[in-house]
Amino acid sequence: MRYLMILAALAAAPFAQAADEAALTAEARQQAKSLGQSLMKTLKHGIELSGPEAAIDLCNTEAPVIAGQLSEGDWQVGRTSLKVRNPENTPDVWEEQTLHEFEQRLQAGEDPMKIEATRLTENEFRYMKAIPTGGLCVTCHGAELSEPVKARLAQLYPEDQARGFSVGDLRGAFTLTKTLQ
């Protein structure tokens, strides 16, 4: 009897983990969506109100605040890229590897809106979702930037690497981590 119980527990373990991973992925997608929507709202509002140079200041001050507000409870929410503007967004090993993998998947023709990755270990769950470059983004991340945008970026981000992107390129990714008890 005891053997049977142990066997049953062993057999169920992978299923339990799969169910957990599905639930965590759903939660992560929701968090990434909220972050994306908040950032986009702030960005559009900033540009409409005062133009792209001023919107850079808004991104500079608000992007970390928005990510911080969403990083409540056990979730850590942020953005990363192979070419960062803010050095604080520099990828770690798993993020860098995943960003390279996303590039390959994009080249292979996968829909950028659906490119994502997960990693579940004993004490944390990680999730990344691709961020493609859209038309609005090239104002501040494109190859040809206006003089005022260049000047403001030079002041705030002297080591900026996040330019030269075209519409459709992979700009970066949302990156989320949940600590598991």
Token pair belonging to 114: 């659906």
Residue 86 touches ligand HEC, criterion: CB under 6 A: yes
Site for ligand HEC (CB under 6 A): which residue of 84, 128, 130, 170? 84
Cα gap 162→90, rounded to integer Å: 11
Main-chain dihedrals φ then ψ at residue 134, nearest 5 degrees? -105, 180
For the chain, what's the residue count?
Answer: 181
Cβ-based neighbours of 11, under 8 Å, separated by 6 or more: none
- Asked if 64 is part of the footprint of ligand HEC (rule: CB under 6 A), the reply reads yes
Q: What minimum distance in Å lies between the beta carbon of 40 and ligand HEC?
A: 6
126 vs 171 by CB, closer to ligand HEC: 171
Q: CB within 8 A of 78, min separation 6: which ones?
A: 67, 71, 89, 174, 175, 176
Strand ranges (E), the chain: 75-80, 116-120, 124-132, 170-179
- Residue 102 beta carbon to ligand HEC: minimum distance, rounded to whole angstroms: 12
**Per CB under 6 A, does 38 bind ligand HEC?**
no
Region of 10-18, 22-30, 104-112, 130-138 interacting with ligand HEC (CB under 6 A)? 130-138
Under a CB-based contact definition with an 8 Å cutoff, are residues 35 and 174 in contact? Answer: yes
Nearer to ligand HEC, 24 or 162 (CB): 162
For position 172 contacting ligand HEC by CB under 6 A, the verdict is: yes
Contacts with ligand HEC, residue ranges (CB under 6 A): 43, 52, 55-56, 59-60, 63-64, 79, 81, 84-86, 89, 131, 133-134, 136-137, 139-141, 162, 171-172
